[in-house]
Amino acid sequence: MAPSVPVSPLAPKNVPTLPALDGLRLATAAAGIRYAGRTDVLMALFDAGTTAAGVFTKSKCPSAPVEWCREKLKGAAPRALVVNSGNANAFTGKTGRQACKFTAEIAAKAVGCKPSDIFLASTGVIGEPLPAEKFNGVMDQLVSDARADGWLEAAQAIMTTDTFPKVATATAKLGNTKVTINGFAKGAGMIAPDMATMLAYVFTDAPIGAAALQALLKEAVGSTFNAVTIDGDTSTSDTLMAFATGAAAKRGAPRIVRASDPRLTAFRKAFHDVLANLAEQVARDGEGARKLVEIKVEGATSDASARRIAMSIANSPLVKTAFAGEDANWGRVVMAVGKAGEPADRDKLSIWFGGIRVAHKGARDPGYDEAAVSAVMKKPEITLKVALGLGKGRDRVLTCDLTKEYVAINGDYRS
């Protein structure tokens, strides 16, 4: 089973209570896939008329549920989402595809819909056959248990090495109607960009068409989930999906069909905030993490170049261990800038830790104050800024430090 570790010191102090969301009900159950004494299956039930959008791992070896969701997304009329923890159903070949089909079939029977209306995800160990027959005993119960609250329980049911459940909520005016956006996510390791990181789900009662929802999701993922890295390792199962029940239409919310609709302004911001909040929580729960590190790069030749440099820094084991050691080792930052393969000129480079400039124009800052920098490094949240002095490209990513606990968690996980 998952190792018992204390809650990350970076966990949010206040966990919001998510309000009910019209058109959607939730339930969880313990199917005994892998863990004992905890829930491991989540079902979200959607009223007819709900739309769906999704972005998935770019892995060339995606899990069976990722393939299932990709196939079913076009023209989808989603009625339920079923997610299990404990087993990723990844690299399970034909058996894996059969497990997806079987799960969707028994879920559809319990819900009263078609198997293709069921969306699936699995997270946990890779390569072990998923014992989907264990879902047999819980599907009817999930459908009958489903209720409008229970968001925290939903987030808990899909945790693996997470140390805290990740939920977020926001409201926005759509037309003159208040609509709600709720979301939850899981993920603590095997987190890297170039995909929708691990499992995250966002739900709204706003009446937004599938194409517009997909566009909103794609637009928001770049600066949120794709801007987080724990270890540079891209999962085979990464899934970010959005579901819009449209129930707010009854309360007068306008139906939206295009992402460019000007009435989306407030919704777009709230939607982005929920995604950004969840993505940050993933970084805060990085396996073994003791420091949340924000990496800002500016003055690059383009935004894309700034992103690649920021990721080179964020994924460098030497930079990450320096943060773990509370060592403002900007030499390693220079190294990571240098290895990114992007335009950089040592003699124009400046580096700040927590607002204190430590390096300037290719050398140590003349006013370098070790004590002040040491004080910054002891904080649980640190911003590292790199100015390249070449252009106007800028970006920002979130990561965490690399500690002995990361190694302990991942050296012992499967055994």
Q: Are 85 and 125 in contact (CB under 8 A)?
A: no
Positions in 242-281 near a copy of itself (CB under 8 A): none
Query: Which range binds a copy of itself by CB under 8 A, 41-49, 231-239, 250-258, 273-281?
Result: 231-239
Q: Which of 163, 235, 277, 399 binds a copy of itself (CB under 8 A)?
A: 235
Select the span of 39-47, 121-129, 141-149, 216-224 touching a copy of itself (CB under 8 A): 121-129
Classified as helix, coil or strand, 27 is strand
- C-beta closer to a copy of itself: residue 92 or 156: 92
How many angstroms separate the Cα of 141 from the Cα of each of 31, 40, 117, 144, 286? 11, 14, 19, 5, 34
- Placement of tokens 């076009």 in the chain: 74
- With binding defined as CB under 8 A, does residue 125 bind a copy of itself? yes
Q: Is 335 exposed, middle or buried (0-12, 13-18, 19+ CB in 10 A)?
A: middle
By CB under 8 A, the residues from 345 to 384 that bind a copy of itself are: 345-347, 349, 359, 361-364
128 vs 261, beta carbon nearer a copy of itself:
128
Of 96, 209, 286, 299, which one interacts with a copy of itself (CB under 8 A)? 96
Rule CB under 8 A: choose which of 114, 250, 339, 392 binds a copy of itself.
Answer: 339
Confirm if 103 and 82 have CB atoms less than 8 A apart. Answer: yes
Out of 197, 236, 399, 403, pick the active-site residue. 197
Residue 95 sits in the site that holds a copy of itself (CB under 8 A): yes
313 scored as a contact of a copy of itself (CB under 8 A): no
Tokens, residue 87:
């087993």
Known active-site residue 163: no
The residue (of 45 and 90) whose beta carbon lies closer to a copy of itself is 90
Segment contacting a copy of itself by CB under 8 A, of 17-25, 75-83, 216-224, 342-350 = 342-350
Place of tokens 């991942």: 410
Residue 122 structure tokens: 């699995």
Only one residue has tokens 């992103």, namely 307
Q: Give 207's contacts (C-beta < 8 A, 6+ positions apart).
A: 244, 246, 247, 248, 249, 253, 254, 255, 256
Piece of the chain touching a copy of itself by CB under 8 A; list 114-122, 165-173, 292-300, 313-321 = 313-321
Task: Tell me, by CB under 8 A, how many residues bind a copy of itself.
Answer: 75
Shortest Å, Cβ 364 to a copy of itself? 6
Q: How far apart are CA 356 and CA 190, in angstroms?
A: 32
Q: Which helix (H) or strand (E) holds 11?
A: none
Name the E strands within 187-308. Answer: 199-204, 239-244, 292-300
187-216 positions binding a copy of itself, by CB under 8 A: 189-190, 192, 194
- 381-410 residues in contact with a copy of itself (CB under 8 A) are 402-404, 406-408, 410
Which residues form the catalytic set? 197
